[in-house]
A and B are shown apart, each in its own frame.
Chain A
Amino acid sequence: MVSKEQHALHIPISTVAHCHEAVVAFGKGIADFIGLKEYLTFCSIHDPAAVTPHGFNERDTVSIWSRTGRKQLDPDKYMDMIEAFQPDMYQSLCDGDTNPTSSKKRVQKSINRSIAFLEKCLERHEKSEVLKESAILGAVEGGYSIEGREDSAKYLANSSVFGYVIDGLHSNGPDVEQLTIEDVKPVLEASLKHLPNDKFRVLQGCWNPETVLSMVELGMDAFDSSYVYTVTERGGALIFQNSIKNLDIPSTATDVSYGAEPKDGSNLKPDTSIYAQSSYEIPEKKKRITDDKQVTSVVEEDKSVESETQGPIVESPEDTKSQTTSLNRKYEISLADKKYAEDFTPLSRSCSCLTCKKHTRAYIHHLLQTRELLGPVLLTIHNLHYYMEFFKGIREALKSNTLDSLRKCVSEEKDTS
Chain B
Amino acid sequence: MLTPERSIEIQNAIGADIIMQLDDVVRTTTVGPRVEEAMHRTTRWLDRCLKAHQNADTQNIFPIVQGGLNVALRSESAKQLMQREVPGFAIGGLSGGESKNDFWKMVHLTTDLLPEDKPRYLMGVGFAPDLVVCSALGVDMFDCVFPTRTARFGCALIHSGQLNLKQKIYAKDFQPIDEECECSTCKRYTRAYLHTIVTNETVSCHLLSVHNISYQLRLMKSIRKSIEQQCFPEFVRKFMANMYASKEYPQWIVDALLAVNIHLDLAAPIAEK
Contact = CB atoms under 8 A, between A and B. Distances in A.
B200 interface: yes
A33 B190 CA distance: 8
A21 interface: yes
A33 B193 contact: yes
Given A67-B200, A373-B202, A376-B202, A21 B192 contact: no
B206 A35 contact: no
A26 B174 contact: yes
Interface residues of A, number: 13
Interface residue tally of chain B, by bracket?
Answer: 10 to 19
B119 to A, nearest CB: 29
B205 A373 contact: yes
A22 B202 contact: no
B208 to A, nearest CB: 12
Nearest to A26: B174
A377 interface: yes
Contacts of A373: 202, 205-206
A18 interface: yes
A92 to B, nearest CB: 26
B202 A26 contact: no
A35 B202 contact: no
Nearest to A18: B196
Interface residues of A: mostly helix, strand, loop or mixed? helix
Given A25-B172, A35-B188, A35-B189, A19 B206 contact: no
B52 interface: no
B54 to A, nearest CB: 22
Interface in A1-27: 18-19, 21-22, 25-26
Given A22-B171, A22-B172, A25-B172, A34 B193 contact: yes
A19 B196 contact: yes
A15 to B, nearest CB: 10
A22 B196 contact: yes
Nearest to B192: A22
Contacts of A21: 171-172
Given A21-B171, A67-B200, A377 B189 contact: no
Interface in A392-408: none
B171 A33 contact: no
A18 B206 CA distance: 21
B206 A377 contact: yes
Interface string B171-212: 110100000000000001110110110001010011000000
Nearest to A16: B196
B221 to A, nearest CB: 26
Nearest to A377: B206
Q: Of residues A19, A21, A22, which shows the largest number of chain B Cβ atoms within 10 Å of its Cβ? A: A22
Interface in A76-116: none
A18 B201 CA distance: 13
A100 B188 CA distance: 45
Interface in B206-231: 206
Contacts of B171: 21-22
A51 B126 CA distance: 44
A60 B195 CA distance: 32
A71 to B, nearest CB: 16
Contacts of A25: 172, 192
Interface of B: 171-172, 174, 188-190, 192-193, 195-196, 200, 202, 205-206
11 contacts: A18-B196, A19-B193, A22-B171, A22-B192, A22-B196, A25-B192, A26-B174, A33-B192, A35-B190, A67-B200, A373-B202
Given A22-B172, A35-B188, A376-B202, 20 more contacts: A18-B196, A19-B193, A19-B196, A21-B171, A21-B172, A22-B171, A22-B193, A22-B195, A22-B196, A25-B172, A26-B172, A33-B190, A33-B192, A33-B193, A34-B193, A35-B190, A35-B193, A67-B200, A373-B205, A373-B206
